[in-house]
Amino acid sequence: MTSETAELLERLRRLDIRLRLDGERLTVNAPEGALTPALREELGRRRDEVKAHLATQARRAPPPMVRVPREANMPVSHTQQRLWFIKQMDPGSHVYNVVSALRMTGQLDRPALQRALASLIARHEALRTRFLSVEGTPRCAVEAHVEPALEIVDLHHLPGLQRERAAFDRAVEFSRQPVDIGTAPLLRCLLVRKDEEHHDLVFVIDHIVSDGLSLGILLEDFAVLYAQHCGDPATELPDLPLQYIDYAHWEQATFAHGALEEDRAYWTQQLAALPDRSRCRLTGRGPPSAARGARAPCCSCRRR
């Protein structure tokens, strides 16, 4: 497919103009007024190439995502491959720690909290996953059962402002400890007791199994599980038919199916005119590396 045809298809996509191949017939579904005479004429000129592209896409349709059998070592996603590679270069770094905290107000049921963490790890295989190297290639394994890693700090004996500062400092220190991705669980928790009615619960997960969106899901699930273990029968979580490891397997199968070949050919053509030699200075000392993560406000929950 030429770059001109690719650009036409991108323009049509942005206008919500949808193309479909029905046998040998090209059908067009467009919002009122979107398909201008100029676009219609250009589409007519490139009809054969567009039809060939749609036929190729249909042949390369990705396989369905299904639950796969668990084995001793499993493939990881491409994103996890990149993060694993970075981890090998700097295993002691905490840069890719994903951190969040809950401020819990009310009488805390500590056994229920520990059971909720255990249920959370049992529910999400990613938290029971460990990463290993097989002939230099990253792979992962899911442990059948893993006890939650919960550290407890009691600061109730400190006066108010000093207690808050100590709680903050301990949470920061805890969040900067690197996560060993070779050992499950990849979720570590810190419970800070300020007094009988106030606790902070800090979650630290390595980015290789979590991001901002999935962390929100984990926190929501934890809240439901904690309520369950406190005796609230009204709360219930749906079963999870698929886990991230099923997505990783699907992604590998999709790429093996040739899903990237057309994209690779397009970008090879687009970048063909670039110089072979980089103009960037590759020698000498540059500024020290730095990392700045995104921030989100901590959550707060109350149990009466």
Q: Taking the CA atoms of 271, 276, 278 and 283 in sequence, report the sign of the dihedral they define.
A: positive
Least confident of 21-25, 88-92, 244-248: 21-25
Say whether both 110 and 224 belong to one domain: yes
Nearest to 101 by CA among 22, 23, 190, 224: 190
Same domain, 206 and 140: yes
Whether 90 and 224 share a structural domain: yes
One-character DSSP codes across 196-222? TTEEEEEEEEEGGG--HHHHHHHHHHH
Inside any domain, residue 271: no
* Same domain as 160, residue 100: yes
Whether 152 has a pLDDT exceeding 60, the answer reads: yes
We report the CATH number of the domain holding residue 244 as 3.30.559.10
**79-88, 140-149, 268-277, range with the lowest pLDDT:** 268-277
Question: What pLDDT sits at residue 304?
Answer: 44
Task: Give me 97's structure tokens.
Answer: 């720690």
pLDDT of 108 higher than 80: yes
* Predicted pLDDT at 292: 65
Q: Are residue 109 and residue 205 in the same domain, yes or no? A: yes
The CATH number given to whatever domain includes residue 24 is 1.10.10.1830
Tens digits of per-residue pLDDT, 219-262? 999 999 999 999 987 778 999 999 999 999 999 888 876 667 77
> 188 and 95 in one domain?
yes
The verdict on 114 and 230 lying in the same domain is yes
Report pLDDT for 6: 87
pLDDT tens digits, residue range 155-175?
Answer: 999 998 999 999 999 999 999
Range of the domain at 14: 3-59
In the chain, how many domains are there? 2
